[in-house]
Structure 1
């Protein structure tokens, strides 16, 4: 009996024995289970009483719950209800214990992921402990990532996305406070409820962004959660949601949840000052290899689809953004209004939308003394596209010319104004009149290089897109010859002739014909069928796959008479189609697309062939137009998005400011320049010291003096001379030291 009492009082020992033989120790477990139920009733009334013993019992039952599933069937519900109902009255240690044991039950498959997340999501905004909050966040992310590791867990994803939608939507009916001042609410209860709703929405946006960055969620539903947060009345939630769309689409976080990057310089410094051992060298090399691997993964990976392209109803989204920007203009700070402008302009440029009120709104911010005016000019340029009415953009162009391009401002202001006008006119060439264009082009005769470059770029643009708006002496030879031959740009709203060919398709046809002649086989015949699409398939939903499998193939008769070829507007959205193929006479039209289904691999090969043809033209002296075309093709190949609308619509502040004086280099740039200068040299270090000399020698007296004992140096003449030095001599030496330090810095 004494041993039985000892076993029941020692819970870790009893836990070990139960895991070995659950049947033999069932009575002891039931005794502890009854004890747990009695303490739980007391704990609900007074959480401070027997809290330590209650935590021990909870941890014990969590470990052995799999041994007695029938008896502990209600145990997870006890923990979750206690957390959700009495979270505010529990001590921090009890909260942490309950959360950890819920995670333990999930790891032992006692509860499902949905049951765990239904408990963790509500308590995440209420948690004030940074340690517990970080633990809950990592648990949520890791659980969702594990569930979607091998295949998409659509049931879990839909349940979690529904919860996140609810967390964001609960605070949408609040008042817009803004970030220029706090709007006082009616009472403290309403204030507390609004703060809780804002924290819920903030965590929903944060978790969705993390899952998107880690490529766990890449569907339109996750984008819809963040897009809903863009209209949240709390500025903090709205700003976090907007930055999700403004971030670089190719950027991806590493798999490390800590988010900390290895500092290579710190590793080398720590290695220099620590003791040199072989194990230390191996550890440092392992860390360096890990850092290089993470850096390589960051630079090589990219998301499947940009978030902007997955927006549901972009026109309504853009109009709501403009309404918020215009209606609450006085409540938002300039920084917040700028990010709203940038998101609105990116949506307009990416989807070719028309929100005409935006151009009237942005006019009041177009002044050279306006703070952060380059960002505002970037937003203006990104919002314009070829479907934007010129009448809506023309007043903006005139405002830019009046405010930025006149002799009363500096050269940088003039260059920024000309560059902004150029970027707007690049997207809509009909938004400027002939007289204003002629006046702006005259700035190419300025004395400042930045102004000259900006004016020449504007002149070169109109030589290509619409040379008829330039004076005859400014058109150039190629543009004048084109006008004399009758070539005229189409007016706004007009489309060209029917598309008859894919640009450069004849290059692909000739290439395949050469392969057939060399191998003596037909390239189009492929027994494997789907092998040519390997690596190019787009992930689809399970429902779509089931529908496609059920429908099967449709037999179509090979009858040329039944074909109906039309040039109506319904077929104007064909990809990669142009009127003038590369380096091929206009009379020749390739029929390859009518005899073969072009795969993504064929289009990649077609892009390579176009690059090779353009490179040959450049080598044979093709001129600046051929060089620009080659650069465009190479950029499209690197980005793997040859037809992506986002690439042409995004503008940076450097495009507006133009070329300026070389900025001060940072450490990485200086080291890269140093390494470039060392190429082709055998030795980089100085010959000072016996190890680096051609002829070995002993160390110098100065090097020996560094290792002398301090008592030997105190009686030397140099030290005594310093003590006897006058104030004037000390000042002179200090001045020499300061001058040397200044020269070393420069």
Structure 2
């Protein structure tokens, strides 16, 4: 009996996979064998610390074995994860690639078996990203970090993990900023390994934060704070990624994750048609199509855009904007033009979103306002985007005059004049008092130009001032509708506060529509909750209501608030007093204070002071928008003016967008808004080929259908038939035609006799 146990121990010691299988089936029965291997691991580890190249293969095998069965003996292997982590962090440069990959896989396996926490795994993997030179290992580490954080926040927000990881990422960014290097200069070929390592850490930190924001895992103010810190990092590439994060510009170099790459369904079907048909191929195609469909739904759910942008979550935007401008002005000669334009776009977007007044910004940007400047449309769009109603007109007047002097004169082309007029129009839309009357009169005269784009730009400027301030135009330019109005201006003087809103545009249309519905005899009662099904603040698939924004509290004694489309007016009078004294049924959680602030402003806009307190649902706002479109369309059909037509076009353009998206469209300026409508450019080779392929649809690949399908008996046409159908001018110089003219009388008689004989034979 003893001899059989000894032989079994020797056999299992030499066959680790078999021992691993037996331990997973019955851990208690094979504990002695595991302890024997554990002591062997301890001795091998000490040898490996001294000389990593010695027994490397055996060390990887024993480490993999211990990781596979570590969950069966948690007390004995409690120190195993920390030992592997410290070995990786301290001896990473001296390990060979196979050992590095094996140890990283071991840590991931221990995390999957719950032998180590997610925070410990991330603390071990984050420092490895800038250390490794292997692209495959780096991609594996990056994928593991992203998937672990996303899985931890799948059901509900894991605030403990998020705060710890965000603190680590912020520390990685700040370590690179604490160096003594000159700010604003990229570290190229530095000899300080610690400084270079810190810069690589910052680069990976901002890249991971950007990816987590794009996937919808993180969307709080702490995430924005990390990227705001990265905008002032001494490495220009870190600044580049951080600025693109705020501008919502995706970088193609950052999309390295193969899991997130889209699947081309058409290419799969085409490949299936041209390859050999097999059952295994059909099954593989169906599996791929199911995965593509599932991936599309998951991506749409996880990357649902939030109701606010990253710019809205900035802490102290005034200080951030001033620091950004100081950095731009200080390192103007060191930054490239593309980088300076990115900084200008970010600064202008922050100024517009938060209504900041950085007056020296216009003194700086006016130096680049020349028609021969590279990327001038982007510069003009940043200039127009920075203006808002609180910008002093005295600061903008020289800028508008400079644009007019550089872009709008007979010595430049039509595209240049169009860009100048569009830029002035975008600036005046945000601050109408910034232009002088004489200059405005000169600009609107360009509506008589021969260039269509110039005429369109000048007319748009003219129509704008006809609506907001006709008094700045000459009497003959004000138009019929503006001249008939008693009040010549709808424009508030600069600095006057906005009057509080007491109504919503088009609300009488909604009230009339609801009265018509109530007067119908067979009207179905609307469900109050259906209007909010597709208009949720957070993901409805979350495991609890406290995932990302709102927590339900006790509602004892709390009366329901009446929705505008669910109950009649009789019941609403009874609930009015109770609803005004009731407590709120939801409270924002700590991690989404910024979210609650945005939504509180949105709820204030939705609340309407009518005789009956009502809250309009999103379905009501959508219905109100449709009613406004119908009313504007009816007015246009009855012969309304151009202002009503422009209003109809604007309503139809913003029909499918949310209120936040519609506000963003009015807030931000693109380069296309500056360039305006342009002539059709020459098609490229790919576009010409696509047009040719479109014309070939629905016809055979080769040949003509003339002789094959238009005859009783399919056949091609003969050369004689082709010659008979040729135009006379093509055969006038041929030998056959000229020979007829030179033929003798005898030849003509022979041809005539032959023709008569042939005709007789044909008749008989």
Scaled by the length of structure 2, the TM-score of the pair is: 0.78
Which digits, 9 at most, give the CA deviation of each residue in 1:527-566, with x for residues without a partner? xx7665444342486697569559985999949999xxxx
Residue 363 (structure 2) aligns with: 360
Residue 656 (structure 1) aligns with: 674
Residue 489 (structure 1) aligns with: 491
User: How far did 1:276 drift?
Assistant: 5.3
Q: Which whole-Å CA distance do the structure 2 matches of 1:560 and 1:208 have between them?
A: 43
- Runs of 5+ consecutive residues of structure 1 not aligned to the other structure: 563-572, 579-589, 702-746
2:455 aligns with one of 452, 455, 460: 452
Residues 419, 655 of structure 1: 8 Å contact kept: yes
1:88 aligns with one of 87, 90, 93: 93
Residue 12, structure 1, aligned to residue 30, structure 2: no
1:624 aligns with one of 637, 642, 651: 642
Which digits, 9 at most, give the CA deviation of each residue in 1:7-49, with x for residues without a partner? 2011112111211222222111111100100111111121111
Q: Which whole-Å CA distance do the structure 2 matches of 1:668 and 1:602 have between them?
A: 46
Residue 69, structure 1, aligned to residue 74, structure 2: yes
Secondary structure at 2:492's aligned position in 1? coil
Which digits, 9 at most, give the CA deviation of each residue in 1:671-700, with x for residues without a partner? 88679879xx96576665999957899999
Distance 1:614 1:642, change over 3 A: farther
Residue 612 (structure 1) aligns with: 630
Between the two proteins, the alignment pairs up a number of residues equal to 669
Q: Which whole-Å CA distance do the structure 1 matches of 2:163 and 2:716 have between them?
A: 75
Secondary structure at 2:102's aligned position in 1? helix
Residue 595, structure 1, aligned to residue 613, structure 2: yes
Residue 37, structure 1, aligned to residue 36, structure 2: no
User: How far did 1:392 drift?
Assistant: 1.2
Residue 142 (structure 1) aligns with: 147
Distance 1:43 1:258, change over 3 A: same
Residue 424, structure 1, aligned to residue 427, structure 2: yes
Q: Which whole-Å CA distance do the structure 2 matches of 1:75 and 1:31 have between them?
A: 15
Residue 519 (structure 2) aligns with: 517
The equivalences for 1:212-611 within 5 A come to: 212-247=213-248, 257-263=258-264, 267=268, 270=271, 274-275=275-276, 280=281, 302-304=304-306, 305-482=308-485, 484=486, 486-495=488-497, 498-518=500-520, 533-539=532-538, 545=550, 549=554, 553=558, 558=577, 592=610, 594-611=612-629
Q: Which whole-Å CA distance do the structure 2 matches of 1:244 and 1:55 have between them?
A: 41
Which digits, 9 at most, give the CA deviation of each residue in 1:160-200, with x for residues without a partner? 11111111121223356578876897xx3xx3222111111
Residues 707, 716 of structure 2: 8 Å contact kept: no
Residues 156, 548 of structure 2: 8 Å contact kept: no
Which digits, 9 at most, give the CA deviation of each residue in 1:85-106, with x for residues without a partner? 2222222211111110010011
Instruction: Indicate the structure (1 or 2) with the bigger Cα radius of gyration.
Output: 2
Residue 122, structure 1, aligned to residue 127, structure 2: yes
Between 692-701 and 349-358, report the one with greater CA deviation: 692-701
Q: Which whole-Å CA distance do the structure 1 matches of 2:321 and 2:102 have between them?
A: 46
Q: Which whole-Å CA distance do the structure 1 matches of 2:66 and 2:222 have between them?
A: 39
Distance 1:71 1:281, change over 3 A: closer
Q: Which whole-Å CA distance do the structure 2 matches of 1:182 and 1:248 have between them?
A: 24
Residues 71, 115 of structure 2: 8 Å contact kept: yes
- Runs of 5+ consecutive residues of structure 2 not aligned to the other structure: 1-5, 539-544, 561-574, 582-600, 718-764
Distance 1:150 1:462, change over 3 A: same
Secondary structure at 2:615's aligned position in 1? coil
Residues 185, 234 of structure 2: 8 Å contact kept: no
Residue 84 (structure 2) aligns with: 79
User: How far did 1:314 drift?
Assistant: 1.8
Q: Which whole-Å CA distance do the structure 2 matches of 1:624 and 1:673 have between them?
A: 36
Q: Which whole-Å CA distance do the structure 2 matches of 1:330 and 1:204 have between them?
A: 28
Residues 625, 651 of structure 2: 8 Å contact kept: yes
Q: Which whole-Å CA distance do the structure 1 matches of 2:682 and 2:297 have between them?
A: 27
Secondary structure at 1:89's aligned position in 2? coil
Q: Which whole-Å CA distance do the structure 2 matches of 1:468 and 1:259 have between them?
A: 56
User: How far did 1:479 drift?
Assistant: 1.7
Between 54-63 and 290-299, report the one with greater CA deviation: 290-299
Scaled by the length of structure 1, the TM-score of the pair is: 0.80
Distance 1:318 1:412, change over 3 A: same
Residues 414, 451 of structure 2: 8 Å contact kept: yes
Q: Which whole-Å CA distance do the structure 2 matches of 1:575 and 1:440 have between them?
A: 42
Distance 1:699 1:139, change over 3 A: farther
Residues 182, 234 of structure 2: 8 Å contact kept: yes
Q: Which whole-Å CA distance do the structure 2 matches of 1:386 and 1:5 have between them?
A: 85
Secondary structure at 1:58's aligned position in 2? helix
User: How far did 1:77 drift?
Assistant: 1.0
Secondary structure at 1:594's aligned position in 2? coil
Residue 583 (structure 1) aligns with: none
Residues 187, 196 of structure 2: 8 Å contact kept: no
Which digits, 9 at most, give the CA deviation of each residue in 1:136-178, with x for residues without a partner? 0000111111111122222211211111111112122335657
Q: Which whole-Å CA distance do the structure 2 matches of 1:282 and 1:98 have between them?
A: 36
Residues 62, 101 of structure 1: 8 Å contact kept: yes
Structure ranking higher on relative contact order (CA contacts 8 Å, 6+ apart): 2
